[in-house]
Amino acid sequence: MHFGPVIALLLALVATPVVRVVDRPIHVSPDGKSHVQLILEGGEASMSRITAFPGAAIPVHVHPHSDEVLLIEAGAGIMTLGDKIIQIRAGQAIRIPKGTKHSFVQTGKGPLRAVQVYAPPGPEQRFKKWRVLK
């Protein structure tokens, strides 16, 4: 896959155009089954890297003001998107329009890795409440 145009568009939308990913903290969910690294924030969009380990689950929720896009890099899971249940796996991109109820369960044997974009930013701020991996 070629993601150059997607990355270029994202860089045009965020306030800080270049960061060193290795310098960004990794936030760990309370149950330890998910890690989120907030990579780019501010401006018109945010970008995070998500790692969901076997058994990870995100309950039904809604982002009333932000679209969400997921680019699945590795792993598998089941997602509810509105009234649909979809299988997700590496190589897929998923768009979740603002106001859409959605949830996720990690069903793979190994970690699911994804890039997550919110436009406009905001929902990613909840991850800052999680502990930081040292």
What pTM did the predictor assign? 0.85
| Residue 91 buriedness (CB in 10 A; 0-12 / 13-18 / 19+) | exposed
- CATH code for the domain in which residue 82 is found: 2.60.120.10
Number of domains, the chain? 1
pLDDT digits (tens, 9 = 90+) for 57-92: 999 999 999 999 999 999 999 999 999 999 999 999
Q: pLDDT tens digit string along 84-110?
A: 999 999 999 999 999 999 999 999 999
pLDDT per position as a tens digit, 23-39: 899 999 999 999 999 99
Domain assignment of residue 56, given as a range? 4-132
Provide the b/e sequence for 113-128 (b: ≥16 CB within 10 Å): bbbbbbbbbebbeebe
Residues contacting 36, CB < 8 A, separation 6+: 26, 27, 29, 48, 49, 50, 51, 116, 124, 127, 130
